[in-house]
């Protein structure tokens, strides 16, 4: 078993239970500032189809669940500058942190995405927000942060839908700008600036 402790870890563990063990780790118990979860193995980051597998798992286990309609844009714009957002469909649940670094496997090879983030006031509850996180990995987040080898991923299915692709680009750009809040490392700031500019430029086209 694995003990995860720290800021907001208990809330993440509770959200694991809410989303269920088909997509999140099995949680065995809680401590004051964290939770106890199953031991998992890191998913193969050399698998070019990993983003597709993650997208399909989110479709199957998360994105069909109803979410909450709310004014998320006002609190987001209190944090960052961003262009007018795309339209979204009905509110749906999200994982919240669906990057490749959180992709794990159980012993039976089931894909699990760890460290979910419960709904936050400044993020819409919509699949497109999670799609933006997948793009975050496609644009080199794990290369930057963990020294992974640069990968040419097979694009997830949403990439071939004009509306979903534009929305995912917007959310990836917004996420990059949010990462900059409080960040001091020059290399991370440079990546965030470049990704936000690229995503918002392609979103506007």
Once rounded to an integer, what is the mean pLDDT over residues 100-110?
A: 94
Among the residues of the chain, which ranges form H helices? 9-19, 50-61, 73-77, 127-138, 141-146, 162-179, 186-204
Distance CA 58, CA 55 (A): 5
Residues 132-178 pLDDT 10s: 999 999 999 999 999 999 989 999 999 999 999 999 999 999 999 99
Angle at 177 between CA 199 and CA 93, to 5 degrees: 80
Residue 189 CB neighbour total at 10 angstroms: 13
pTM, rounded to two decimals? 0.95
The pLDDT, as a whole number, for residue 13 is 97
The pLDDT, as a whole number, for residue 45 is 84
Q: What percent of the chain has pLDDT over 90?
A: 92
Task: Evaluate if residue 205 carries a pLDDT over 90.
Answer: no
Task: Evaluate if residue 29 carries a pLDDT over 90.
Answer: yes
Task: Evaluate if residue 89 carries a pLDDT over 90.
Answer: no
- Least confident segment among 51-55, 107-111, 180-184: 107-111
Structural domains in the chain plus CATH codes: 1-39 (no CATH), 42-204 (3.90.1200)
């Amino acid at each position: 078993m694995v003990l995860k402790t720290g800021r907001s870890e208990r809330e993440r563990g509770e959200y694991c239970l809410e989303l269920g063990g088909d997509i999140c780790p099995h949680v065995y118990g809680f401590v004051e500032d964290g939770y106890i979860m199953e031991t998992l193995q890191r998913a193969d980051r050399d698998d070019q189809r990993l983003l597709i597998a993650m997208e399909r798992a989110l479709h199957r286990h998360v994105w069909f669940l109803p979410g909450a309609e709310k004014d998320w844009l006002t609190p987001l714009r209190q944090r960052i500058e961003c262009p007018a957002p795309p339209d979204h469909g009905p509110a749906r649940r999200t994982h919240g942190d669906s990057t490749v670094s959180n992709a794990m496997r159980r012993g039976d090879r089931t894909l699990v995405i760890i460290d979910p983030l419960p709904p936050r006031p400044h993020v819409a509850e919509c699949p497109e927000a999670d799609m933006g996180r997948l793009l975050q990995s496609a644009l080199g987040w794990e290369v930057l942060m963990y020294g992974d080898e640069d990968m040419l991923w097979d694009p997830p299915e949403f990439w071939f839908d004009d509306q979903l692709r534009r929305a995912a680009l917007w959310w990836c750009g917004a996420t990059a700008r949010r990462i900059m809040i409080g960040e001091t490392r020059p290399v991370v700031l440079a990546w965030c600036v470049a990704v936000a500019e690229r995503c918002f430029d392609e979103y506007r086209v």
